[in-house]
Amino acid sequence: MRLLLVEDDVELSSRLTRRLEAAGFAVDHAFDGETAAEWPDLDRLGVLILDLGLPSLSGTDVLRHWRRAGVRTPVIILTARGSWQEKVDGLNAGADDFVVKPVQSEELIARIHAIVRRAQSGGEPLLEAGAISLDPVAHTASRGGRALDLSRQEFRLLELFLRRAGHILSQSDLLEQLYALEAERDRNALEVQVSRLRRKVGRGAITTVRGLGYRFER
């Protein structure tokens, strides 16, 4: 899953990015409010993490701009400790949750998972199709009750397939979700990852729809 981290503190942004990537997310960055407000594909991201104390345009103003523009992607705001007014303003502007600075990455990751469950899984943590089951919070997957040994990118790919089981996902769709915006997106590498995942989940589970993409069979 891709997410956008809007944080002007370079050191904090780098630390959170390392932890988020280790947890299986692809992270895009914006370091000021104006850039965040005009980010090109907000509706294709899983979560937006927004610091309220930004240069050029405040985080609260960015959030109001997003919501006025019809962006419905869940937003977690980062607020200063003890700044209750910031929390109130952020939530009133349309935020879904908040994390208080100094940010504990474990708490942030837990809140991301909770929001994703509410937004995409109807509150149910498990994703299932056929013999395959995946828990995005525990970061585990199994086939017929037996644990699957998946790389971080294979886990991301399987989660994308299971969230849209029965639907065709194009290579472009998958690449957009697997890699940050500035990252190199290699279609050949994606084909290799799909092939490896097939061997682990069963070759009949992922169908190639010629000219369109892939479909994970229910």
Instruction: Say if residues 45 and 21 touch (Cβ distance below 8 Å).
Output: no
The amino acid at residue 110 is A
5 CB neighbour count, 10 Å cutoff: 25
- The verdict on 104 and 136 lying in the same domain is no
Q: Which helix (H) or strand (E) holds 118?
A: helix 105-120
- The verdict on 116 and 134 lying in the same domain is no
- The verdict on 88 and 137 lying in the same domain is no
pLDDT tier, 182 (very low <50, low <70, confident <90, very high otherwise): low
Q: What pLDDT, on the 0 to 100 scale, is given for residue 88? A: 84
- The verdict on 112 and 10 lying in the same domain is yes
The residues with which 134 forms a beta bridge, in sequence order, are 127, 141
pLDDT tier, 115 (very low <50, low <70, confident <90, very high otherwise): confident
- Domain around 15: 2-120
Mean pLDDT value across residues 8-18: 94
Instruction: Say if residues 63 and 50 touch (Cβ distance below 8 Å).
Output: yes
pTM assigned to the model: 0.65
Question: Exposed, middle or buried: residue 93 (CB in 10 Å: 0-12, 13-18, 19+)?
Answer: buried
CATH number, domain at 132?
A: 1.10.10.10
Domain end among 87, 120, 153: 120
CATH number, domain at 115?
A: 3.40.50.2300
What are the structure tokens assigned to 188, written together?
């050949």
Q: What pLDDT, on the 0 to 100 scale, is given for residue 81? A: 65
The mean of the pLDDT values for the chain is: 89
Q: What pLDDT, on the 0 to 100 scale, is given for residue 214? A: 95
pLDDT tier, 218 (very low <50, low <70, confident <90, very high otherwise): confident
- The verdict on 60 and 115 lying in the same domain is yes
- The verdict on 115 and 133 lying in the same domain is no
Mean pLDDT value across residues 81-110: 86
Longest dimension (CA), the chain: 55
Domain tally for the chain? 2
pLDDT at 158 over 70: yes
